[in-house]
Amino acid sequence: MARVRCTPAKKVWLWRWRNTPLRRRSDRLEACIVLTAWLIAVAGGLSVALVTGASFEQSLAVRRAQVHPVTAVLTQDAPGAPALTTDGSSEGTVWAKVRWTAAEGTTHTGLAKADPGSEAGTSVTAWVDRRGELRSQPPTAVEAQLYSVLVGTSAGLVAGAAVLGCEWLARAGLDRRRLREWDAEWARFGPQWRKRMSD
C-alpha cells in the first residue's frame, strides 16, 4: 500500500485584503478592525506616553520649585537604627528632631532625616516650603526624568493594551457571527449532502 505524503498548507499573508471568492464581508471588516486597532494602539500609545511623561515631569519640576533646602541642627541624638520604608527595607537614614531658623527669623522644629547615631548639634539638611513647613526632599532633575519615562511608558502600554483588548473583543464577536452563519449554511446544505451520500 502506497503512503500518501501530506505537505503542510502554505500560510498566505494578508489574505483578507486579496480579492478571492472565499473572502467574506466579515473578513474584510476584520481586516479593517485589525489595521485600525494597531494604528491607534501604536500612535495613541506613543501619544499617551509622551503627554503623560511630560506632564509628570512638569509636576515634579513644580514640586522642586516649591521647596528649598535649609540647614537644621539636631536637638537630640539621632536613633542608631536606620528608618524603614513602607516595603520594610532600610533607607540608611533615621528620623530625628531638628531645629532651624526661617528666612524671616522665626525658629521652627520638626523631624528630618539624619545619619544613624548623629549627635545633638550636628547640622543636617531639611527641606521646607515657602511657609517654612517641612517637606520631603524632591527628586533631582535626573530622577524626575527617569520617573517620567517610567510613568509615560507604563501609561502608553496600558493605553495600547486597552485598544488591542477592544480589537480582540470585536474580533471575538465577528467569530461568533461567522459560527452562526456556518451553522445556518450547514443546516441548509447538510441534509442535501447526507442525501447524496446515502444514494
Q: Which pLDDT tens digit goes with each residue over 26-67?
A: 778 888 888 999 999 999 999 999 999 999 999 999 988 888
Instruction: Give the per-residue pLDDT at 89.
Output: 46
* Residue 159 binned pLDDT confidence (cut-offs 50, 70, 90): very high
Instruction: Give the per-residue pLDDT at 56.
Output: 93
CA separation, residue 104 to residues 49, 69, 74, 126 (Å): 43, 15, 21, 17
Q: Contacts from 68-71 at CB under 8 Å and sequence distance 24+?
A: 68/127, 68/128, 69/125, 69/126, 69/127, 70/100, 70/101, 70/102, 70/125, 70/126, 70/127, 70/128, 71/100, 71/123, 71/124, 71/125, 71/126
Cell of 176: 461568533
Instruction: Give the per-residue pLDDT at 187.
Output: 81
Burial-class residue 100 by CB neighbours within 10 Å (0-12, 13-18, 19+).
Answer: buried
Instruction: Indicate if the pLDDT at residue 84 is higher than 60.
Output: no
Instruction: Indicate if the pLDDT at residue 189 is higher than 50.
Output: yes
Q: Which residue is it, cell 547615631?
A: 117
Q: Is the dihedral of CA 137, 142, 145, 149 positive or negative?
A: negative
Q: Tell me if the pTM is above 0.85.
A: no
The most confident of 60-64, 108-112, 114-118, 195-199, by mean pLDDT: 60-64
Cell of 113: 532625616
By percentage, how much of the chain surpasses pLDDT 70?
79
